[in-house]
Structure 1
Amino acid sequence: MVSEREVIARTVERLIEEVGSWEGITVAEHRFGGTEFRVGPREIGHVHAWGMLDIAYLRKLRDVLIDEGETGVHHLLAESGWTTYYIESPDDYDHARWLLRLSYLYHVKIAKKTPAGAEELAGVDVEAEVEGLGLSEPVRAAFERRGAA
């Protein structure tokens, strides 16, 4: 019989494998344990085998995501742009992936403003992917760094 802990660890491994395949992502051991994901020098998030997923956002975007119940306040850095989402079952995989993809796209958008980032991440169509995420208007406005409608 597979324990709940093993099921969560397998879900986390699946997430690591998928996120690690995204264009421009590097995967490494995180300094506080777990696995981190980076776009160039920018960490988009890290995940621990027990299911705690910490994700980096622009503070305004983080606030809107928390207000809409998409994620929670970071477990230690409550006043930062970081959030914490708990993967408690395989059913949480899609949402964890969505949260990481949103952070990834934001960081790719910033990185593409540099010559190296524009070249390395040329294959990522940020606008098309953002359209496909089904963002609410307040999340979309925060992502685009404009006032909410």
Structure 2
Amino acid sequence: MTNEIDRIVAEVSSWDGIEAKAHRFGGTEFRLGPREVGHVHEWGILDIAFPRRVRDQLVDEGKTGAHHIYPESGWTTFRVGETGTLDDALWLLRLSYLSHAKIVQKSAKNAGKAAPTSLDVESELANLEPSEELRAVL
């Protein structure tokens, strides 16, 4: 499990604008500006933040589960090696990253500030090939 967690931390930490730091309940959290994209615990639980409609669609599609402690929130829980593969985990984190980047970029633009990333969100989302239903709520 440690190797998979290390790979998640290395990959997500390399994304433009992401700050990785210790999570208060153990593991590593990933932040884009003021927003937490998600966090991974050493024992393999990956908690990922989404807007609620996106979370609902992901759960409906079976790509992840509702959060193990806060099931009614926008958070999801993905168990590396149980819920899906390492690639599935990275896909979900990338989707969260892009959904947060979209919000952060819009907020920065409205405030006349520079965004923490100049990522082409729409192009990156298309590369993930989400379902039509998921794309509609993004």
Give the TM-score normalised by the residue count of structure 1: 0.86
CA 1:117 to 1:103, structure 2 compared with 1: closer, same or farther past 3 Å? farther
Partner of 1:129: 124
Identity %: 53
User: In structure 1, what residue type is equivalent to 2:129?
Assistant: G
2:48 to 55, 58, 61: 55
Give the counterpart letter for 1:111 in structure 2. Answer: V
**Which residue is equivalent to 1:5?**
none
Distance 1:92 1:117 in 2: 35
Q: Gaps (5+ residues) in structure 1?
A: 1-7, 144-149
Aligned-residue CA RMSD (Å): 1.2
Structure 2 gaps of 5+ residues are none
**Structure number with larger C-alpha Rg:** 1
TM-score (norm 2): 0.92
Measured at CA, do residues 117 and 83 of structure 1 come closer, stay the same or move farther in structure 2, by a change above 3 Å? farther
| Number of aligned residues | 133
Give the Cα–Cα distance (whole angstroms) in 2 for the partners of residues 103 and 117 of structure 1.
Answer: 20
Would you say the 8 A contact 1:111–1:117 is kept in 2? Answer: no
The one-letter amino acid paired with 1:11 is: E
Shift, 1:117, TM fit: 4.6
Over 6 Å off, 4+ runs? none
Letter in 1 for 2:113: A
The residue type equivalent to 2:101 in the other structure is: V
